[in-house]
Amino acid sequence: MEQRAYITQRMDELKKQVLTMAAMTRKALNDAIKAFLVLDSDLAESVIHGDVEINEIENQLDQFNLELLALTQPMAGDLRAIVGSMRMTMNMERIGDEAVNLAHRTVFLSTRPPLPLDPNMDKLARIAQEMLSDAIRAFVEGDVQLAASICVRDQAADDLHYKIMRKVITDMLDESRIAERGVHHIMAAKHIERVADLCTNLAEAVIFIVKGEEIKHRCQA
């Protein structure tokens, strides 16, 4: 096969694999959030067990990228696509880990009497889910503006996380017997807020792939 055609084929394959991982990560996050909101321990357990597949595809993508670098000595857009994909897979794997952490909270909380949920938790979850979906869409479509909008939304996630924490702390001060569940709620909010942070990393990777602009650590500014 002609070298350029070979590279194009491999780059298409890379994109497909990144999207496969993205779909798995999104499912893990959505299931973990759903399980948390309704305290469904079975669904939470499935998220925990499913993480091994996300880890496995991350390893496969690492190997795939390594081979592409070694065998095709990519330049310019190809090089950025590979480096950007490596960043994306690393961040998606971490999102998978946060989904697992959230699922562990759910498994624990499902063994205790339910604690009323702060409505902000639902809002925070929705923001994180949308940020992930949009990051994936921005990657598929090479949409830099959409990617940039993800960065902006991270502030809303941070604010909601802070509000939830304040509310739960206040509740715990009022009623100390809810302290254990309250801590799990605070940690759950933290896991979701971390997902939002990681989505900004995905958005930064998309901008890097498309435009070659490095906005790491400046994304939310």
Partner 1 sequence: MNIKVKSIGLDFYYGEFKALEDISLDIGENQVTALIGPSGCGKSTYLRCLNRMNDLIPGTKAQGKLLLDEEDIYAADVDVVTLRRRVGMVFQKPNPFPKTIFENVAYGPRVNGIKDKEFIANRVEESLKDAALWKEVRDRLHSSALGLSGGQQQRLCIARALAVEPEVLLMDEPASALDPIATQKIEDLIHELKKKLTIVIVTHSMQQAARVSDRTAFFYMGKLIEVDKTETLFTKPKERRTEDYITGRFG
What binding mask, one character per residue, do residues 51-90 give for partner 1 by CB under 8 A, x or -? Answer: ----------------------xxxxxxxx----------
114 near partner 1, rule: CB under 8 A: no
What binding mask, one character per residue, do residues 180-199 give for partner 1 by CB under 8 A, x or -? Answer: --------------------
7 near partner 1, rule: CB under 8 A: yes
Stretch touching partner 1 by CB under 8 A, among 1-9, 52-60, 166-174, 179-187: 1-9
Least Å distance between CB 74 and partner 1?
7
Q: Which residue do the tokens 């759903």 mark?
A: 34
Q: What whole-number distance in Å separates Cα of residue 218 and Cα of residue 101?
A: 27
Tell me the CA distances in angstroms from 199 to 59, 79, 90, 125, 205, one per residue in order. Answer: 20, 22, 11, 13, 10
| H-helix or E-strand spanning residue 171 | helix 144-174
212 near partner 1, rule: CB under 8 A: yes
DSSP-assigned letter for residue 177: G
Nearer to partner 1, 7 or 179 (CB): 7
Q: What whole-number distance in Å separates Cα of residue 221 and Cα of residue 196?
A: 15
φ and ψ at 23, to 5 degrees? -65, -40
Nearer to partner 1, 13 or 175 (CB): 13
Applying CB under 8 A, the residues found at the interface with partner 1 are 3-4, 7, 73-80, 212
